[in-house]
């Protein structure tokens, strides 16, 4: 397999941690290089066949079924018109292909909807990493005024309790004495989302030893992906960075290099990223490093959804993150490699939901 040389890895690794105090950078670098050396042959890793789950919320068929019902249920929104599935279409790419998503009353959100596919492999959720788990993420859109628009979570819980047909599903998922509350709703949705993974892509088969799984162009792109320095941030089986404890995010400043035309063209400095959550100047334009799987399904790209094609996204990243200018052939090769990260989606069927009381949405 191809590996990034030590000098290039040193420079790229330091660039990936722009907010670390200068006196601590040598210590951090030594630790990271030691980890990289230990990883060795694990540079290219196949996606696991099962997503990890926390000890307090193991994935079960009953819980995943309930979560799927809630994921598709528009009654969790204030108007009864928007569900998780409205912005995360699991019949296709797990997003909605809008630059920014549309919520209740036709309101547009401020950021592009990330795909829900393989979100189970991220250590934090949302572009700014504000949710430490899928469970916490599941609560956020319900009470976001421009998404599902519930004034408070208790109102969503009360609505689910009024739908009598739901309680048996909650009890099958969480036990005979279970009640419907905010945590059980979120835990069920998270359990369903942990079934939304796409292993066995052409890349995965290649990483497991099938050298015929990638085309010649994809192999060139794989080499270029490493040589250019993309693996400094996009490593691991999900290409979203190193394995970190749940709730610990892997963040990168974007854009890092601003002396290029892409920054103004795609308004890359308009959103403060993580700083909008923490209020810290050092978090300005920091973003959770996204995974790179199934990108052929998730255009347009980046947090604002302004980049429309994958080769263009590759050029933007090379320029803004690595200060490198790629020609069309190099960008096409890397895009071809990224296309090899597309895995088969597990079949999805529409769930049957319990009936709605006649006065619920008045």
User: Rounded CA gap, 285 and 275, in Å?
Assistant: 7
In the chain, what percentage of residues exceed pLDDT 70?
Answer: 88
Under 8 Å CB-to-CB from 247, ≥6 apart: which residues? 123, 124, 132, 133
The CATH number given to whatever domain includes residue 65 is: 1.10.760.10
Question: Per the annotation, where are the binding residues for heme c?
Answer: 84, 87-88, 230, 233-234, 317
Q: In angstroms, rounded to a whole number, what is the distance separating the alpha carbons of residues 287 and 249? A: 9
* Residues 128, 213 within the same domain: no
Residues acting as catalytic residues: 147
Which pLDDT score is estimated for 43? Answer: 83
> How far, in Å, CA of 23 to CA of 20, rounded?
8
Co-location of 97 and 149 in the same domain: yes
Q: Are residues 211 and 259 in the same domain?
A: yes
Residue 283 lies in a domain: yes
Question: Which residues participate in the annotated binding site?
Answer: 84, 87-88, 230, 233-234, 317
Residue 23 CB contacts under 8 Å (≥ 6 apart), including other chains: none
Give the span between the Cα atoms of 233 and 225, in whole angstroms.
Answer: 11
Instruction: Decide which of 193, 228, 243 is a domain's last residue.
Output: 193
Instruction: Using the 3D structure, point to which of 140, 168, 193 is the last residue of a domain.
Output: 193
Residues 320 and 243 in one domain: yes
- Are 207 and 335 within one domain? yes
pTM above 0.85, yes or no: yes
> Quick one: which of 34, 7, 22, 16 has its CA closest to 241?
16
Name residues whose C-beta falls within 8 Å of residue 102's C-beta, 6 or more positions apart in sequence.
86, 87, 96, 108, 109
| Residues forming a β-bridge with 125 | 131
Question: What is the rounded CA–CA span in Å between residue 256 and residue 297?
Answer: 26
pLDDT along the chain (362 residues), means of 10: 41 44 43 40 84 97 98 97 97 95 94 98 98 98 97 97 96 97 98 98 98 98 98 97 97 98 98 98 98 98 98 98 98 98 96 93 72
The DSSP symbol for 356 reads P
Does 54 reside within a domain?
no
- State which residues form the domain around 253: 6-43+199-339
């Amino acid at each position: 397999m191809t590996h990034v040389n030590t000098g290039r890895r040193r420079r790229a690794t330091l660039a990936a941690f722009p907010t670390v105090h200068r006196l601590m950078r040598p210590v951090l670098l030594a630790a990271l290089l030691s980890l990289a050396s230990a990883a060795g042959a694990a540079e290219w890793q196949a996606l696991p066949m099962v997503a990890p789950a926390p000890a307090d919320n193991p994935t079960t068929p009953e819980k995943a079924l309930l979560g799927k019902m809630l994921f598709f249920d528009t009654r969790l929104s204030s108007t009864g018109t928007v569900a998780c599935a409205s912005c995360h279409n699991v019949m296709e790419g797990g997003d909605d292909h809008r630059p920014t998503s549309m919520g209740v009353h036709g309101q547009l959100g401020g950021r592009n909807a990330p795909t829900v596919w393989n979100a189970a492999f991220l250590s934090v959720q949302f572009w700014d990493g504000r949710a430490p788990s899928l469970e916490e993420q599941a609560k956020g859109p319900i009470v976001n005024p421009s998404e599902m628009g519930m004034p408070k979570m208790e109102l969503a819980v009360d609505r689910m309790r009024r739908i009598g047909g739901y309680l048996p599903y909650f009890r099958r998922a969480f036990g005979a004495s279970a009640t419907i509350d905010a945590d059980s709703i979120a835990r069920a949705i998270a359990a369903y989302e942990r079934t939304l993974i796409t292993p066995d892509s052409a890349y995965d088969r290649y990483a497991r030893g099938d050298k015929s799984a990638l085309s010649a162009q994809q192999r060139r792109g794989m080499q270029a992906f490493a040589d250019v320095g993309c693996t400094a941030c996009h490593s691991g089986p999900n290409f979203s960075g190193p394995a970190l404890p749940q709730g610990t995010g892997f963040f990168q400043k974007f854009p890092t290099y601003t002396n290029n035309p892409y920054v103004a063209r795609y308004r890359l400095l308009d959103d403060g990223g993580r700083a909008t959550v923490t209020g810290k100047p050092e978090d300005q334009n920091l973003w959770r490093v996204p995974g790179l799987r199934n990108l052929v399904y998730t255009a347009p790209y980046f947090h604002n959804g302004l980049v429309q094609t994958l080769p263009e996204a590759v050029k933007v990243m090379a320029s803004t993150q690595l200060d490198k200018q790629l020609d069309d052939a190099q960008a096409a090769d890397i895009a071809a490699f990224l296309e090899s990260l597309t895995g088969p989606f597990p079949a999805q069927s529409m769930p049957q939901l319990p009936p709605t009381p006649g006065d619920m949405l008045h």
